[in-house]
């Protein structure tokens, strides 16, 4: 069985540097690395954002822009690839600037050997894995794997400000599982956990990759829908509720459970101009849906008609 090759990305405008790095990696006794090359800033950014690489080697000089800018932009746009910074300079200020920008290690080109490169890659991969595990612990709900409440608040604030700035709409759906307490009381919390994990999986299948699904708390969930008007947000809300009710959930003993969900929908700028009010309006609409008998979707626009 062949070992799994770790894909490494080199961003450098010098083809010779690519050949040199290829030679270093080929000289390693254990092998295990496959080197890809991006010759400019834009290409390097796109490849980093693909998430296909175990680590990145970034040159300091990249034409009009530099590797420091590239690290910052890639990180700001969601790249989690561990970065090793390469430069011909020996100035301490470059070293510190690279670390401040987010690089995990720093190598001077004239001093690189196969052994030094391999050691740096091992260090960056191990540290990068540790940092990613810590990030998941602080940003994800441990039971469902969805974004947690703190990340929800951050996403919602950022996306509301962005939507208002560019004149886009933003949809918010708050979903609650109907009579969920009965499941915990009748079948126990482990079964309730099974249901919550399966609900999270079904919700993720109903939204786009650009949207956000978070666990608000208990059996409540929130969906942030980018550039989504009221009609489309209502369609999504109906789909996620249908995804809950359509197929039964199963206990570990394969006992089927039928569950329904209620949802409230609010849209910026129709119902609010900031994150706090948008969330409050969706919550009010959800409360109205539950008062009206559950297993339904209500928009904030309809609150006067259902009060």
| CATH label of the domain that carries residue 72 | 3.40.50.2300
Domain that holds residue 75: 6-139
Class of residue 156 by CB neighbours under 10 A (exposed 0-12, middle 13-18, buried 19+)? buried
pLDDT in tens, the chain (307 residues): 445 678 999 999 889 999 999 998 888 876 688 899 999 999 999 999 988 899 999 988 887 788 888 988 888 887 888 999 988 776 667 778 888 888 888 888 888 999 899 999 988 888 888 877 777 778 899 899 999 999 999 999 999 999 999 999 999 999 999 999 999 999 999 999 999 999 999 999 999 988 999 999 999 999 999 999 999 999 999 999 999 999 999 888 888 999 999 999 999 999 999 999 999 999 999 999 999 999 999 999 988 654 4
CA–CA separation, 100 and 176 (whole Å): 42
Q: Between the CA of residue 33 and those of 80, 126, 177, 246, what are the distances in Å? A: 19, 15, 47, 46
Task: Specify whether 214 is located in the same domain as 293.
Answer: yes
Task: Specify whether 197 is located in the same domain as 247.
Answer: yes
CA–CA separation, 87 and 81 (whole Å): 19
Q: Phi and psi of 19, rounded to 5°?
A: -65, -40
Question: Catalytic amino acids?
Answer: 219
Tokens 């070992």 correspond to what residue? Answer: 3
How many domains would you assign to the chain? 2
Task: Specify whether 156 is located in the same domain as 112.
Answer: no
Task: Specify whether 40 is located in the same domain as 126.
Answer: yes
Task: Specify whether 181 is located in the same domain as 131.
Answer: no
Task: Specify whether 163 is located in the same domain as 120.
Answer: no
- Residue 1 placed within a domain: no
Could you tell me if 66 and 135 are in contact, meaning their C-beta atoms sit under 8 angstroms apart? no
């Amino acid at each position: 069985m062949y070992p799994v090759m770790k894909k490494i990305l080199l961003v450098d405008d010098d083809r010779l540097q690519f050949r040199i790095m290829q030679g270093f990696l080929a000289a390693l006794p254990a092998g295990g690395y496959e080197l890809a090359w991006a010759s400019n800033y834009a290409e390097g950014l796109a490849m980093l954002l693909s998430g296909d690489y175990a680590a990145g080697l970034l040159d300091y000089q990249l034409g009009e822009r530099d590797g420091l800018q590239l690290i910052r932009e890639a990180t700001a746009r969601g790249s989690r690839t561990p970065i090793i910074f390469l430069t011909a300079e020996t100035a301490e200020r470059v070293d510190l600037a690279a670390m401040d920008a987010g690089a995990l290690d720093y190598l001077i080109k004239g001093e690189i050997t196969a052994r030094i490169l391999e050691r740096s890659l091992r260090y960056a991969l191990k540290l990068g894995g540790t940092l990613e595990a810590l990030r998941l612990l602080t940003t994800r709900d441990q039971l469902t794997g969805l974004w947690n409440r703190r990340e929800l608040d951050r996403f919602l604030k950022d996306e509301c400000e962005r939507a208002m700035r560019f004149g886009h709409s933003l949809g918010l759906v708050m979903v609650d599982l109907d009579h969920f307490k009965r499941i915990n009381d009748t079948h126990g919390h482990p079964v309730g956990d099974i249901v919550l994990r399966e609900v999270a999986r079904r919700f993720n299948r109903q939204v786009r990759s650009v949207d956000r699904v978070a666990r608000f708390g208990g059996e409540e969930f929130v969906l942030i829908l980018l550039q989504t008007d009221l009609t489309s947000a209502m369609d999504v809300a109906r789909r996620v509720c249908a995804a809950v009710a359509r197929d039964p959930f199963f206990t570990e003993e394969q006992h089927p459970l039928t569950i329904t969900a209620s949802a409230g929908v609010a849209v910026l700028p129709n119902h609010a101009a900031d994150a706090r009010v948008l969330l409050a309006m969706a919550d009010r609409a959800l409360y109205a849906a539950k008062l009206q008998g559950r297993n339904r979707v209500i928009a904030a626009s309809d609150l006067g008609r259902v009060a």
